[in-house]
């Protein structure tokens, strides 16, 4: 229990710090005064004033905040504070300050992946055939276990994971496959067939297959700094796409909202990943960092995305959104977030007692 709690605190602490640091650094770069930089909400446990900013750690470790000078529209300010006021900055500057939090979460994921790829490289699944399924195109083409797939239609295959997309892209057209059988190169023509399977969301999908299963043998590939950076960008982008797709599917109802998890689930997973090793724990932090960045960009008032939406409307209409309307929408946003929090806590509790 103590290990799980400590892992949770470390994960949340890193994610919140990076997110709020983004807001803080962007505010300072734009000449906005920062009154408070807090990790956590509620009563302040530790605090220290440096310059004009109070840095503190608060009791509830489920978030954080940066309180800026003139953050609230219509706030009464002393004349000397106006140059430091958030509300008195240009629309691009305010948008940058708000967007900097989620952007820093994405940057953290890129940084983590870069370090992992730079020091551990890639572990690719060998494109070796482990099993040929009966009554499939691969069986008809006399592909054998132990054959190594070298290319498909002239495209080099370095990993077994590269095969399914290449086969599916054929749309049933004949493929020219080069295999290595005991050191001898053979060219085989094979026509994929349509088959049903389950995707990662449990949905039934149709895709083209040839009927082979890999051995799951892996081999190591070292990466130079440029390759590591390229792979870190790719991995972060894939996580962003997957997270957005998951949200869309939950909203559409094709994936159950029961899969949503809250603090309890995060704590359990953090503990499990920490026990698995530093690399798994770092990957988990990158995953959550991307999730946090995307969630904060949702166009819900009180979230960063809600503020950006108001700024976009202001840019189009050439005037700020009515203050009373903003207050009402902000209240509605709080209700939505509280409802969501209650729901994920409920999911966590049900999941915990059903294990």
Which residue is associated with the tokens 């999908």? 205
Q: How far apart are CA 280 and CA 274, in angstroms?
A: 7
For 61-72, b/e burial (b = at least 16 CB within 10 A) is bebbbbebbbbe
* 148, 126 Cβ separation under 8 angstroms: yes
The per-residue DSSP string of 238-262 comes to: HHHHHHHHHHHHHHHTSS-GGG---
CA angle 159, 160, 163 (to 5 degrees): 105
**How far, in Å, CA of 326 to CA of 320, rounded?**
10
CA distance 137 to 191: 6
Dihedral (CA of 75, 78, 79, 84) sign: negative
Beta bridge partners of 37: 55, 66
Task: Please tell me the distance from the alpha carbon of residue 73 to that of residue 330, in angstroms, as a whole number.
Answer: 13
Point out the residues that are catalytic: 20
């Amino acid at each position: 229990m103590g290990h799980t709690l400590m892992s949770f605190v470390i994960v949340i602490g890193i994610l919140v710090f990076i997110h709020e640091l983004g807001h803080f650094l962007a505010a300072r770069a734009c000449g906005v005064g920062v009154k408070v930089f807090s990790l956590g909400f509620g009563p302040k446990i530790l605090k220290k004033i440096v310059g004009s900013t109070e840095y503190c750690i608060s009791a509830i470790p489920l978030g954080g905040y940066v309180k800026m000078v003139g953050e609230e529209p219509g706030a009464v300010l002393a004349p000397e504070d106006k140059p430091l006021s958030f509300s008195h900055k240009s629309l691009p500057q305010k948008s940058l300050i708000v967007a900097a939090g989620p952007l820093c979460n994405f940057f953290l994921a890129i940084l983590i992946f870069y370090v992992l790829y730079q020091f551990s490289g890639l572990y690719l699944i060998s494109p070796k055939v482990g099993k040929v399924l009966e009554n499939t195109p691969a069986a008809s083409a006399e592909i054998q276990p132990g054959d190594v797939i070298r290319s498909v239609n002239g495209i080099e295959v370095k990993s077994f994971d590269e095969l399914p997309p290449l086969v599916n892209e054929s749309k049933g057209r004949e493929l020219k496959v080069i295999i290595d059988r005991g050191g001898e190169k053979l060219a085989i023509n094979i026509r994929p067939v349509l088959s049903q399977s389950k995707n990662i969301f449990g949905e039934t999908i149709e895709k083209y297959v040839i009927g082979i299963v890999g051995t799951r043998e892996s081999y190591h590939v070292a990466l130079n700094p440029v390759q590591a950076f390229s792979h870190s960008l790719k991995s972060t982008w894939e996580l962003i796409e997957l997270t957005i797709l998951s949200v869309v599917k939950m909203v559409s109802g094709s994936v159950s909202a029961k899969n949503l998890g809250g603090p309890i689930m995060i704590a359990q997973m953090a503990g499990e990943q920490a026990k698995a090793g530093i690399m798994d724990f770092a990957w988990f932090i990158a995953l959550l960092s991307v999730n946090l960045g995307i969630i904060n960009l949702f166009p819900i008032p009180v979230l960063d995305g809600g503020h950006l939406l108001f700024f976009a409307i202001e840019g189009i209409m050439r005037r700020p959104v009515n203050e009373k309307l903003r207050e009402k929408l902000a209240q509605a946003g709080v209700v939505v977030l509280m409802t969501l929090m209650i729901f994920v806590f409920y999911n966590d509790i049900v999941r915990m007692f059903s294990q």
